[in-house]
Amino acid sequence: MPMHDKAADYRRQAQETRAVAKWLSLNDDRQRLLDDANRLEALAETEERQGDSLVLTPQSHEDTLFKRAEAAIAEASRLREARRQIQMRTAQQLERMQQIERELDPLFLHPYWELGIVRAIRAQAGNQSP
């Protein structure tokens, strides 16, 4: 892969990592991703400098850094998906709690021994409404 293509790829990965970091609410994860994005930017700058000066470095070092960058992107994707799933479950739980609240609010105005009567009246009223 040409040096400038690697630099462009590192920059793209850094941009993606920053985009994910914007959406994360946990400061530790956000800071870790921003640190990863900064490392990717540094890799891109290194690639560009090496391309300009025609300095060759050992391929194994490059591969190790690239693997770490790929791992950071994969972790960011995993966190993004986990966040999306948590938000969906939270929204479902919130909706269920609001439904329960709507059902229970009118009942708490009465003593517990009258709840059966109140439920029967509410059921009748619900059946009679148009």
- 77 token code pair: 């994707």
Using CA atoms of 68, 70, 76, 82 in order, give the dihedral in degrees to the nearest 10. Answer: -110
Decide: pTM greater than 0.85: no
Q: pLDDT for 48-84, tens place per residue?
A: 777 655 444 445 556 777 788 888 888 888 888 889 8
Instruction: Tell me 86's DSSP state.
Output: H
- Residue 13 makes CB contacts below 8 A (sequence gap 6+) with 40, 69, 70, 72, 73
Q: How many CB atoms lie within 10 A of CB 36?
A: 23
